[in-house]
Amino acid sequence: MAEMDPHTPILVGVGQVVRHWDSKDAADAPSPLSLQVAAARRALADSAAAGPLAALVDRVVVVRSNLDSVAGTKHPFGRCANPPATLAAELGMASARCIYSVVGGDQPQALVNEAAEAIFAGEAAAVLIAGAEATATMKQALKARIQLDWSHSAEGAQEDRGLGPILLSDYEIANGLGAPTQTYPAFEQALRARLGLDPAAHADMMAELWAGFSAVAATNPYAQFPAARSRDFLKTPGDANYRVADPYLKWHVAQDAVNQGAAVVLTSVGAAKRAGVDPAKYVYLHGYAAFKDRLVSERADLSRSRAIEAALQGALDMAGKTAAAIDQFDLYSCFPCAVLLAAQALGVDWRRTPCTVTGGLPFFGGAGNGYSMHAIATMAERLRASPGEYGLVLANGGFLSKEAVGIYSTEPVSGWKPRADDAAQAEIDEAAAPVLLAESSEAVIDSYTVTWKKGQPSRGYVIASNDKGRILARVRTGHRATLQSLHDGDAIGKTVRIAHEKGVNFLEAGSRLCEPAAKGRLGERRFDDVIVRRDGHILEVTLNRPDAMNALHSAVHFQLHEIWDDFERDPDLWVGIVTGAGERAFCSGNDLKVTAKGGDMAIPPSGFAGFCARFDRTKPVIAAVNGVAMGGGLEIVLACDLAVAEDKARFALPEVKVGLYAAAGGVQRLTRQIGRKAAMELILTGRHFDAAEAVALGVINQRCDDGGAMAAARVLAATLLENSPSAIRASKEALNRLEELESLEEALAANSRIFGRLMRTKDFREGVTAFAEKRKPEWSGA
CA distance 192 to 198: 7
- Report which DSSP code applies to 694: H
Q: Is the peptide bond before 362 cis (omega within 30 degrees of 0)?
A: no
359 Rama class: left (phi>0) / alpha (psi -120 to 50) / beta:
left
Per the DSSP assignment, residues forming a β-bridge with 539 are 534, 576
Say which amino acid occupies 110. A
CA distance 170 to 296: 12
CA distance 686 to 679: 10
CA distance 761 to 768: 12
- Pairing of β 390-397 and β 159-160: unpaired
Q: Is 247 helix (H, G, I), strand (E, B) or coil?
A: coil
Per the DSSP assignment, residues forming a β-bridge with 126 are 57, 267
Q: Is 13 helix (H, G, I), strand (E, B) or coil?
A: strand
- Report which DSSP code applies to 469: E
CA distance 724 to 537: 12
Element (H, E) at 85: helix 83-90
| 119 phi/psi in degrees, rounded to 5 | -65, -45
In this structure, how many other beta carbons lie within 10 angstroms of the beta carbon of residue 58? 16
- Pairing of β 441-453 and β 456-466: antiparallel
CA 333 to chain centre: 17
Provide the residue count of the chain. Answer: 782
Do residues 644 and 625 make contact, with C-beta atoms less than 8 angstroms apart?
yes
Do residues 101 and 62 make contact, with C-beta atoms less than 8 angstroms apart?
yes
Per the DSSP assignment, residues forming a β-bridge with 538 are 535, 575
Residue 728: closest CA among 637, 623, 621, 635: 621
Residue 146: closest CA among 18, 21, 32: 21
CA distance 497 to 174: 18
Element (H, E) at 44: helix 32-46
Do residues 490 and 190 make contact, with C-beta atoms less than 8 angstroms apart?
no
DSSP per residue, 19-32? ----SS-GGG---H
Per the DSSP assignment, residues forming a β-bridge with 587 are 629
Question: Residue 40: CB partners within 8 Å, gap ≥ 6?
Answer: 15, 87, 91, 128, 130, 263
Q: Is 656 helix (H, G, I), strand (E, B) or coil?
A: helix
Q: Which of 635, 681, 693, 766 is catalytic?
A: 635
Q: Which of 123, 655, 693, 740 is catalytic?
A: 655
E-only strand ranges, 588-660? 621-625, 628-630, 642-646, 650-652
Print the SS3 string covering 174-187.
Answer: HCCCCCHHHHHHHH
Residue 416: closest CA among 3, 1, 8: 8
Decide if 635 is catalytic. Answer: yes
- Pairing of β 469-474 and β 530-535: unpaired
Q: Is 648 helix (H, G, I), strand (E, B) or coil?
A: coil
Show which residues are catalytic. Answer: 635, 655
